[in-house]
Structure 1
Amino acid sequence: MSELNDVDLIQSVARGDATALMSLYDRYNRLAFGLAYRILGNPSLAEEAVQDAY
């Protein structure tokens, strides 16, 4: 499913496709964590923020 573009993945997630959600998570987890860490300055809080976002 990772060959799909972001729009297609988001549409699939909106229809309840858990595999699409995992694909988005795999694609953006590191980026999201890096941003959260820069903002929060704490790795535990950053991980929690990323998990809450998904």
Structure 2
Amino acid sequence: MLTLHLAPVVLGAGTALFTGEAPHTLVQRSVISTSTTTHPTYDVSRGIR
């Protein structure tokens, strides 16, 4: 499971999180939204190479 917390703030140049690995498939489970942040949750499965 992967849970993200998205807010409209830019912090630096960013960092790649999934480099050098097999592709992953994300299936959205839920989304909770507030006035300042969105919290999506995904099931993560490793893709086939």
Asked which structure has the greater RCO (Cα within 8 Å, sep 6+), the reply is 2
Would you tell me which structure has more helix in proportion to its own residues? 1
Counting strand residues as a fraction of each chain, which structure ranks higher? Answer: 2
Q: TM-score, normalised by structure 1?
A: 0.19
Q: If you compute each CA radius of gyration, which structure gives the higher value, 1 or 2?
A: 2
